[in-house]
Chains A and B, each alone.
Chain A
Amino acid sequence: MSAITVSTTVNGDAVDFICQPDESLLDALRGRLGLTGAKEGCGTGDCGACSVTVNGRLVCSCLMLAAEAEGAEIGTVEGIAKGNALHPLQQSFLDHAGLQCGVCTPGILVAAKALLDRNPDPTDEEVRYWLAGNLCRCTGYDKIIRAVQSAAAQMRSA
């Protein structure tokens, strides 16, 4: 198997990397680019810890081949804040204790942001169904939902 060169944009910056043909986007982000914010909780598309956006679409990066990212725009948790200015979702997760261990948090933030980008005023039910692919074992989800809703309210009034 020979390595493949991939040119992408990651969090707004042009990035080239090489990868194996069978390498997942998650492994490439973590192993080749040092972007360890996305986590591997399962590697089978069941936990959402590896969530990133590819051309604006929310995907499990463990299920996508790195080679498929050629020419794509990738968004990861590392790109959510602007410098030291946290995104309202990030601040809200801190304010509402929307994380305990925090390992699910990168995926949940990416997923929640993708939701609010589409639907700035979701119901609790909609948030819960949207995040159903993001497992959190620590919080019982209650504070996560509150954090998302509070951020949504704040973003609407901004």
Chain B
Amino acid sequence: MALDSHGKREFKQIGTRVARPDGIDKVTGRALYGADMSAPGMLVGRILRSPHAHARILRIDTSEAEAIPGVKAVVTGADFSIPDDAALADISVNVMARTKALYDGHAVAAVAATSAQAAKAALKAIKVEYEVLPHVTDVDAAMAPDAPVVQKGRSLESVPAGMGANVTHHCEFGHGDLEAGFARADKIVERSFKTAATHQGYIEPHACLATMNGDGRADLWCCTQGQYMVRTVCAGVLGIEASQLRVTASEIGGGFGGKTTVFIEPVALMLAKKSGKPVKIVMTRDEVFKATGPTVSTSIDVKIGMTKAGRITAGAATLRYSGGAFPNTTVDMGAQAAFAAYDLDAVRTVGWNILTNRPKESAYRAPGAPQAIYAVESVVDELCLALNLDPLDVRILNAARKGTKSSYGPTFDDIGLLATLEAAKAHPHYNTPLKPGQSRGVSCGFWFNFGGNTCVSLNINTDGTVGVTEGNPDIGGSRASISLMAAEELGVPYDKVRTIIADTASLGYNDVTDGSRVTFAVGLATIKAARDAIKKMCGRVAKIWGIDEDAVEWRDGAAHPAGPNAGKFPPMTLEEIAAISFETGGPIAGHYEVNADGAGVSFGVHLCDLEVDKETGQTTILRYTVFQDAGKAVHPDYVEGQMQGGAVQGIGWALNEEYIYGADGRLLNAGFLDYRIPVASDLPKIDTQILEIPNPGHPYGVRGVGETGIVPPLAAVSNAVSRAIDVRMHELPMSPPRVLKAIKAARG
């Protein structure tokens, strides 16, 4: 058995569009999401939030609230201790403010009551005395030496002396001689860009249901991208042992990175502890916007030199990111990803993270990359226009490929960028002439992809069916993909396999569903767990046949004698082996535990046709095509779905979505009416072309596909808009007023 071979392999089930196991529950309304669970006698939990962008909390008086009939518990920051671990401490302070409210919407107290009405009245009755402090919400303003200080003493050792107190992190990447590179250029373009903070915008608000008994045993049901992460963080914040807290992940109504941390869960647990009753907290949409993770807001300078023939001679970028009131290092990812698509002799990126009085950043699909790549791809487009070069030809000429020393250091192995660009060039979309008033934008995108800690159990049931237990919430069809991989490896039909997602007490640790890791890493672990089970089944059969274990091989769902020398035995199917498993040594199961690596980077190219109404500044997308390397598409429907969903989130980012702060530092648009995510009538069809350049790090060649799709739209749309109005746009989103302003400014 060549178990570790990859490369060309004939798949029987991988790549088919099977029905998803959770499908019927989800179209009939039966699936249980975060807010759909109840417990007998449960209380309603609500959170009081700071109305100030920055304020010292002088006093909190909860006595009146506690006296309201039906109010069973009130908690404030005083109920929580601060964990030693810096990351945990930040989460703890973010879920409940201690001495200062750091942004509009920062939690300052919480109540649990027998009814929503009583909880609401209790929130009103809590008296918080604030001393309002000067605030700063703009990343560039916050970097200035005299800016209001959001948090003191948070700078990492990476920050050179002399920077303002809000600067917490500094990084630098690249190689080669920039000066020499720019000296060789025929044309150099240098531009500054700004991108607004955007929200993941999952339709399901955060929700959880917590119980904590007098003996310290706690249960938590919540919508999360990672139940083990929730357990670790809540146990750390509350100072309880992991084994005492069982976390069950509900069905999840979208996350996109925003549910890779906790907001309400420790608060619900604390309320449950204090009240002795189950407590359910469901966020309002207003709270989701104000207090859960938006992306970083950014300010970026890019300088690129190009020869007349279109070869990039040098690229440099300075990135200033703010992830709100707490330190983060997302700029590392942006600074590494900025020039990843290009094969460059000289490249340098410098990154800074700066604190502002905004909510704590959470990951959002390819965190940090869309902004950086938007800025770089915008300048590349401007150079193509200036030098009269075809934007795809230029990208093909400069594309990173196998053997390229990447802008972030390592040398690339097999990557799909060139094939993706060539597919775009050959596609009818690119070759359709534009009508007057229409324009076309192009952009590349990139994401690293991750593997990570993964644990899978696979049980062979006595009737020949298979149960897979994995630990990653299914955010977009992953149970189907995992079942497919188990079925393929075992050689049994897909519908014989049922995959479930375990709670934290039932399976070993799994990293959160992030970094496009699930189909890759959980898939890998599932395949290996299947192989483990196969090995055991072959062992049983070897004993039955009285031959060597090595003389038995697994093919098409059955054990066969490995060759003529092994003897003549009729094959034994999985079903037959399972049926007699009690007689041959007991239940059969396969396991695999791994910290997976080799995820394989992912590239995409997007084409966008649009027109701009020059009177209103309104942009209409007319045609959109996504090209992306999936390594191997396990379930093409959901690969396409990831590509389309990512593209549309990126289009929203490019055109409409932004956190808008007033002069008082309050968020002005904390609702879907004013924070406008794309709706069906805003969009055309989103066409997709999946490329399959196998990832050498996965037995079936799979690459993660979840994140790359959000990266290219920012520049693809911006480049098209800039070409349509003949003005280079350098700020996102390109909302109609901003586009109009640019048109007017150019007219003079």
Contacts and interface: CB of A to CB of B under 8 A. Distances in A.
Interface of A: 1, 20, 22, 27, 30, 34-44, 46-47, 49, 76-78, 80-81, 86, 90, 93-97, 99-106, 109, 125, 127-129, 131-145
Nearest to A89: B27
Query: Size class of B's contact patch?
Result: 35 or more
Contact of B202 (A96, A127, A131, A137): A137
Contacts of A106: 29
**A1, A127, A138: which has the most chain B beta carbons within 10 Å?**
A138
B680 A127 contact: yes
A97 B645 CA distance: 12
10 contacts: A37-B30, A38-B29, A39-B33, A39-B204, A42-B671, A47-B285, A76-B29, A100-B645, A131-B681, A142-B686
Interface stretch (B16-24, B70-78, B290-298, B375-383): B16-24
Given A46-B673, A47-B672, A128-B681, A40 B205 contact: yes
Nearest to A36: B36
Contact of A40 (B202, B254, B282): B282
Given A37-B29, A140-B644, A44 B683 contact: no
Nearest to A126: B681
Given A40-B35, A94-B20, A138 B645 contact: yes
Contacts of A127: 680
B28 interface: yes
B202 A109 contact: no
A102 B641 contact: no
B28 A137 contact: no
Interface string B238-259: 0000000000000111111000
Contacts of B476: 100-101, 138
**A44, A95, A99, A134: which has the most chain B beta carbons within 10 Å?**
A99
A37 B683 contact: no
**A138, A139, A140: which has the most chain B beta carbons within 10 Å?**
A140
B80 interface: no
Given A94-B27, A105-B27, A129-B681, 16 more contacts: A36-B29, A41-B204, A47-B672, A78-B28, A90-B24, A94-B19, A99-B23, A101-B203, A101-B252, A101-B475, A103-B202, A103-B204, A129-B680, A138-B645, A140-B686, A143-B640
A140 B26 contact: no
Nearest to A38: B29
Contacts of A49: 203
Interface in B1-55: 17, 19-20, 22-24, 26-33, 35-36, 38
Contacts of A102: 22, 26-27, 31, 251, 253
B638 interface: yes
A136 B671 contact: no
Contacts of B673: 44, 46
Contact of B203 (A44, A47, A76, A133): A47
A34 B20 CA distance: 25
B439 interface: no
Interface in B204-218: 204-205
A128 B108 CA distance: 42
A137 B32 contact: no
A137 B677 contact: yes
